[in-house]
């Protein structure tokens, strides 16, 4: 029986390993660096119901989630607000991450072998292919290594340069965030809009949020692209508290700094004996860093491709990448173009775009859910009337929308079969587009 080693017990692994093992055709081993009781995060995150419903996967257990409320977006000057009105049945679920992971581990453990508190350090490469992983002094051999160990994967870094797989992301492709639930300040009143996201907070490259949690605490995030120096954090926390007096200094959950990938998916996710998935393949929505639904979708695609072809060779694995790109990866290429433009946009321009309604509920809802921002000709003319005073900015917005569409088209033009030359050419076009 062929052996597959999964590195990292993220949601992608928990879904794919279970499916592959349950077929009875593969032996699956999961290596996870954390102890079982410390897996994932000690808080809830927002995941769309589609992650479960569309993939026919078990819903989180009752009592481990609630329906998230609509976002209110606030531009840098803080003198405008856009509150979304996504209907209740389409809103994300805020799900306890650790409990969801534990539910999926229990579901898989009769067929999958888990080794917790085991960190994989590097890939073992022999004869020009990956043949396993090294964990401390131990060598673990396998027919395929599935890398689910995150954006800064040590395994990906240990691939040879000529694999064509990106080994390290650029600094500005990583979002560094403080996340904590703070005790609500005694005597403070509740804000009218509960989920408040500050875009380019203080004019800096990143966001902050303050969300009044149903538990009564306040969910705080302060994140900046590329890094979060101590001074930046202290200033941002002070400013966030001034705008949201319900935040106290006392932390009740979390309180850690984490790294989230915010770029389009890897141009190459596969090599001989190796495949990347989830954050390790940069599958988050580039605009907001949400990745759980994408990881679960990718896991279903990977398992399906392997089981259908009954093969682990790179020609088969390439089909996984093709299907992922056609499913959503290509769209995320377009979203990445928009994200780069917004991050480079002057704070005053962002203020103006939101105040004038040039970027309104529809556009913000698309951005927040990883969809393409679309503007028809009629809509664009309407916006032109509202924004004639800033024609240059509108032209720039129109150009970026065009480029965003071009990026998505390029993503969909992924070579449909494994052809080294065609893939290298496609990859070069992508590099040029984002240069």
Cα 141-145-146 angle, rounded to 5 deg = 155
As a whole number of angstroms, the distance between CA 140 and CA 153 comes to 18
Q: Which is nearer to ligand FAD, 135 or 333 (CB)?
A: 135
Q: Which is nearer to ligand FAD, 71 or 318 (CB)?
A: 71
As a whole number of angstroms, the distance between CA 50 and CA 94 comes to 13
76: helix, strand or coil: coil
Residue spans of alpha helices (H) in 68-210: 97-108, 154-157
Q: In what order do the strands lie in the sheet with 44-47?
A: 44-47, 93-96, 65-67
Q: Minimum distance from CB of 381 to ligand FAD (Å)? A: 36
Q: Give me the residue label for tokens 């005053």.
A: 348
83: DSSP letter: E
175: helix, strand or coil: strand
Q: Which is nearer to ligand FAD, 206 or 278 (CB)?
A: 278
Q: Which is nearer to ligand FAD, 179 or 328 (CB)?
A: 179
Upper half-sphere CA count for residue 369 (Cβ side, 13 Å): 19
132: helix, strand or coil: strand
Q: In what order do the strands lie in the sheet with 122-126?
A: 122-126, 129-135, 138-141
As a whole number of angstroms, the distance between CA 134 and CA 123 comes to 6
Angle between helix axes 292-309 and 11-22 (nearest 10 degrees) is 20
Closest residue (Cβ) to ligand FAD?
Answer: 10
Q: Which is nearer to ligand FAD, 205 or 258 (CB)?
A: 258
Q: Minimum distance from CB of 264 to ligand FAD (Å)? A: 14
Q: Minimum distance from CB of 228 to ligand FAD (Å)? A: 12
Task: List interacting residues with ligand FAD (CB under 6 A).
Answer: 7-12, 31-34, 39, 45-47, 119-120, 148-150, 154, 177, 179, 258, 260, 278-279, 284, 289-293, 295
Q: Minimum distance from CB of 195 to ligand FAD (Å)? A: 11
Q: Which is nearer to ligand FAD, 203 or 255 (CB)?
A: 255
Q: Give me the residue label for tokens 């419903």.
A: 53
Q: Which is nearer to ligand FAD, 22 or 154 (CB)?
A: 154
Q: Which is nearer to ligand FAD, 119 or 185 (CB)?
A: 119
Upper half-sphere CA count for residue 74 (Cβ side, 13 Å): 21
Q: Minimum distance from CB of 140 to ligand FAD (Å)? A: 11
Q: Minimum distance from CB of 358 to ligand FAD (Å)? A: 27
Q: Minimum distance from CB of 108 to ligand FAD (Å)? A: 14
Q: Which helix (H) or strand (E) holds 24?
A: none
As a whole number of angstroms, the distance between CA 220 and CA 209 comes to 6
Q: In what order do the strands lie in the sheet with 195-199?
A: 82-83, 71-74, 195-199, 206-212, 218-225, 174-184, 247-261
Q: Minimum distance from CB of 4 to ligand FAD (Å)? A: 15
**CB-CB neighbours of 229 under 10 Å:** 11
Q: Which is nearer to ligand FAD, 102 or 293 (CB)?
A: 293
Q: Minimum distance from CB of 220 to ligand FAD (Å)? A: 10
Q: Minimum distance from CB of 187 to ligand FAD (Å)? A: 29
Q: What six digits make up the tokens of 26?
A: 């593969």
Taking Cα atoms as reference points, which of 336, 329, 337 lies closest to residue 403? 337
Q: Which is nearer to ligand FAD, 266 or 345 (CB)?
A: 266
Q: Which is nearer to ligand FAD, 7 or 301 (CB)?
A: 7
122: DSSP letter: E
Q: Minimum distance from CB of 292 to ligand FAD (Å)? A: 3
């Amino acid at each position: 029986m062929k052996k597959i080693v999964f590195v990292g017990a993220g949601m992608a692994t928990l879904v794919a390993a279970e499916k592959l093992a349950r077929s009875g055709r593969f032996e699956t081993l999961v290596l996870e660096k954390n102890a079982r009781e410390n897996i994932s995060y000690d808080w809830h995150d927002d995941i769309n119901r589609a992650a479960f419903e569309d993939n026919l996967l078990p819903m989180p257990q009752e009592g481990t989630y609630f329906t998230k409320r609509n976002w209110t977006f606030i531009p840098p000057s803080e003198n405008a607000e856009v509150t979304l009105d996504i209907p209740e049945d389409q809103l994300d679920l805020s799900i306890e991450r650790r409990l969801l992971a534990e539910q999926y581990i229990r579901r898989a453990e009769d067929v999958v072998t888990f080794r917790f508190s085991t960190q994989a350090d590097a890939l073992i490469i022999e004869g020009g292919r990956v043949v396993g992983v090294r964990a401390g002094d131990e060598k673990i051999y396998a027919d395929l290594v599935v890398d689910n160990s995150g954006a800064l994967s040590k395994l990906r870094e240990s691939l040879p340069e000529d694999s064509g797989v990106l080994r390290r992301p650029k600094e500005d492709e990583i979002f560094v965030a403080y996340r904590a639930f703070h005790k609500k300040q005694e005597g403070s009143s509740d804000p009218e809009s509960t989920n408040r996201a500050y875009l380019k907070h203080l004019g800096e490259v990143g966001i902050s949020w303050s969300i009044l949690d149903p538990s009564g605490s306040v969910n705080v995030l302060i994140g900046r692209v590329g890094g979060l120096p101590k001074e930046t954090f202290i200033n941002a926390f002070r400013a966030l508290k001034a705008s949201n007096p319900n935040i106290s200094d006392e932390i009740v959950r979390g309180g850690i700094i984490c790294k989230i990938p915010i770029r389009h998916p890897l141009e190459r996710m596969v090599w001989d004996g190796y495949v990347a998935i989830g954050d390790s393949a940069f599958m988050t929505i580039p605009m907001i860093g949400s990745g759980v639904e994408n990881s679960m979708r990718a896991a279903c695609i990977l398992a399906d491709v392997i089981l259908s072809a009954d093969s682990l060779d790179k020609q088969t694995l390439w089909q996984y990448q093709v299907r992922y790109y056609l499913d959503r990866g290509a769209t995320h290429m377009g979203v990445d173009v928009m994200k780069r433009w917004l991050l480079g946009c002057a704070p005053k321009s962002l203020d103006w775009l939101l105040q004038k309604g040039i970027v309104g509920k529809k556009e913000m809802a698309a951005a927040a859910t990883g969809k393409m921002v679309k503007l028809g000709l009629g809509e664009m003319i309407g916006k032109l009337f509202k924004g004639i005073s800033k024609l240059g900015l509108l032209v720039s917005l129109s150009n970026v929308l065009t480029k965003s569409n071009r990026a998505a088209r390029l993503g969909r033009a992924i070579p449909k079969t494994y052809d080294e030359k065609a893939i290298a050419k496609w990859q070069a076009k992508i590099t040029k587009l984002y240069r």
